[in-house]
């Protein structure tokens, strides 16, 4: 299996999921779009993962490569019909590229919070063997406001209706983060825009508090990440 990964900032990579890829000897190529990497021929790959980032789906003036990325996602899902996994920005890009819409999340969701599977989510292959209610890291001020055609909402929270979705048979995405490692929160806190969003919402010292909260739940985060990864691989291979 050959995996293609779209990245939008150095610190938002597949995280803990890299461990599972190594264990399975999966070959994967990272395309660092913010650094100017070109998108390779999509036909050479079996699955596409799209990670998070500090930009929004409408920030085309500052990030003109978003246009090509959306076109690639649209072709991947609609024309090639190949497996997709999107996280945070990757969730929003899936919606936007396929004709849905995104808008401001008011208030922003930032912190270690709960999401709950919908009845459809409880019966979806991507969440097989996973609890109905899950703790996770949220760090977003944009949400999907209009689902794309063919989407099924798989999880929600009190503040965000579409926390996870599937489009078609095997394009999945989550608004929240499943890829956490022990140093993820600290690394993201080094990004000025990330820290500002965090402190604007939760106040000074919020980074340290969230890092401590994440450490308490890290074993569960990693167990859920392993299950989700395995479910994805089982569904697409």
Catalytic residue among 13, 140, 170, 177: 177
Mode of pairing for the β-strands spanning 84-87 and 101-117:
unpaired
Cα(160)–Cα(66) distance, integer angstroms = 24
Q: Is 13 a known active-site residue?
A: no
Q: Is 102 a known active-site residue?
A: no
Which candidate, 25, 31, 24, 28, places its Cα nearest to that of 6? 31
Catalytic residue among 12, 69, 109, 179: 179
Catalytic residue among 11, 88, 102, 136: 88
Cα(107)–Cα(87) distance, integer angstroms = 20
CA distances from 119 to 85, 123, 127, 153 (A): 20, 7, 11, 9
Q: Is 109 a known active-site residue?
A: no
Catalytic residues: 88, 177, 179
């Amino acid at each position: 299996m050959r995996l293609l990964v779209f990245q939008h900032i150095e610190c938002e990579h597949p995280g803990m999921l890299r461990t599972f890829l190594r264990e399975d000897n999966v070959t994967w190529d990272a395309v660092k779009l913010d650094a100017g990497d070109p998108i390779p021929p999509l036909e050479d790959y079996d699955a596409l993962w799209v990670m998070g980032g500090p930009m929004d789906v409408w920030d085309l003036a500052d990030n003109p490569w978003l246009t090509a990325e959306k076109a690639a996602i649209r072709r991947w899902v609609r024309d090639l019909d190949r497996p997709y996994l999107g996280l945070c920005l990757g969730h929003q890009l899936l919606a936007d590229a396929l004709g849905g819409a995104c808008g401001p999340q008011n208030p922003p969701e930032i912190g270690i919070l709960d999401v709950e599977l919908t009845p459809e989510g409880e019966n979806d292959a991507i969440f097989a063997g996973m609890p109905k209610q899950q703790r996770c890291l949220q760090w977003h001020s944009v949400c999907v406001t209009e689902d794309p055609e063919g989407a099924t909402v798989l999880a929600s929270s009190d503040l965000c209706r579409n926390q996870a979705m599937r489009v078609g048979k095997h394009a999945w995405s989550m608004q929240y983060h499943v890829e956490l490692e022990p140093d993820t929160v600290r690394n993201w806190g080094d990004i000025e825009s990330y820290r500002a969003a965090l402190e604007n919402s939760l106040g000074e010292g919020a980074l340290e508090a969230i890092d401590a909260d994440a450490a308490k739940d890290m074993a569960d985060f990693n167990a859920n990440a392993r299950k989700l990864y395995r479910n994805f691989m089982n569904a697409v291979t």
